[in-house]
Amino acid sequence: MKPTDRTDRTDPTDLTDPTGFTARRLLDGYRKGEFGPVEAVRAVLERAARIQPEVNAFVRLTEKDALAQARAAQERWRRGEPKGLLDGVPVTVKDILLMRGHPTLRGSKTIPAAGSWDEDAPSVARLREHGAVFVGKTTTPEYGWKGVTDSPLTGITRNPYDPSRTAGGSSGGSAAAVALGAGPLSLGTDGGGSVRIPAAFCGIFGLKPTYGRVPLYPASAFGTLSHVGPMARDAADAALMLDVIGAPDARDWSALGPAPGSFAAALTAGVHGLRVAFSPSLGGQVAVRPAVAAAVRRAVSGLAGLGAYVEETDPDFSDPVDAFHALWFAGAARVTQRFSPGQRELLDPGLREICGQGARLSALEYLAAVDVRMDLGRRMGLFHERHDLLVTPTLPLTAFEAGPEVPTGSGHRRWTGWTPFTYPFNLTQQPAATVPVGRDADGLPVGLQIVAARHRDDLVLRAAHALYEAGVATAPPNSTAAA
């Protein structure tokens, strides 16, 4: 079923159902006394429970803790003393990131649920400090290894627009939850597109910030490819969330220092005068489906109409997939290095296969991939001396059938075959976001990717927000923005 046909979706004109509200609208309602966090969190929990049988977005819902957090937030709002920027806002967390009091199983049967689980990941800790309410942990493929979301532990996560299709991955549960009103904000991780891929397939906004902007602990086995980022209904909510989670944490030695200013406050600067490079196919290297290409081109025309200087040109690089595979597969091998034969038998077969490939790589082969990565970073650094932003499709296709790693009949061997626009910018550590800019003939969302130079997350968010403000980017059907 299409989302507008679903009985568990709100009417987009309904201004009373909090599951359709952005985080900003919820905060505005709390401030004005129109409703409270308990009402909002109850509605989100009910929505999450209703969507779970069909889309399978959650590993678990944390209802008891969420309601206790909501009651505490409601009392703070009653006193006029909100705890932080997100007090009482329902959020979800991908089950790759530690969340105190609940197991983090990473989609794997190899991790025992028993234990103290007494530590938050840095991004989760920052959300907790600002009063966010944690309603559940969302699904991931095993150890976040691929671009669709299914795992031996939790099964298949499905697309909100058509449950026969994939939600994408590896943050697929987070994307589906946000799209269907089960919390306006979610924490995802992105090592090769894992925030942007599912956000594009599910019609929401997703940002992979500059590496280190959001601290990560424990360190990812995939090393400095892996970023933590916000997933939201629009760019303004994501900017607000980044203001919270983009703070240093002593546990991450590679984290950046404090942000130079508020990302939310910088949104209104717009795109007038920005130099935008539009690369529809990375110089003919990518075959993009016509419906995707047309929707992205229309959105780029919208940027030009807002005053950006748009030039159709391509960045100077060839597909770095072999280097990415070397780094990615070696990381996967490191995850499972000490597993027993019995544990290996429990793994997703595809993960087991790439672990074997990664274990056979020599140190010199790994360092050759690092050389490719450094050269790609140099090329993109020079490119951004001439262009403030690079715009591409997020993906060359819309959501395909749920279950397989690659579309049936595509000829691709691995998920990287259909994600050529995303993983290069994990190699370079640049900020990159996906913005929903239309749908294909089957009603499936199309994403546009915006990339900036390292440390210019503000430009990515500004451009995305301008597209939302102009009506070029579209929020999920049940989303209601702040007044």
Q: Which member of 108, 123, 151, 170 is catalytic?
A: 170
Q: How many residues does the chain have?
A: 483
Q: Please enumerate in sequence order all residues whose Cβ is within 8 A of that of 157, keeping only pairs 6 or more positions apart, or say none.
A: 55, 56, 57, 139, 149, 150, 166, 167, 169, 172, 173, 176, 402
The residue annotated as part of the active site, out of 151, 194, 220, 479, is 194
Question: ω before 170 within 30° of 0 (cis)?
Answer: yes
Buried b (16+ CB within 10 A) or exposed e, 360-370: ebeeeeeeebe
> Could you confirm whether 94 is annotated as catalytic?
yes
Catalytically annotated residue among 94, 137, 146, 208: 94
Integer Cα distance of 435 and 118 in angstroms: 35
Dihedral Cα 49, 107, 253, 329, nearest 10 deg: -140
Reply yes or no on whether 83 is catalytic: no
Q: Which residues are catalytic?
A: 94, 170, 194
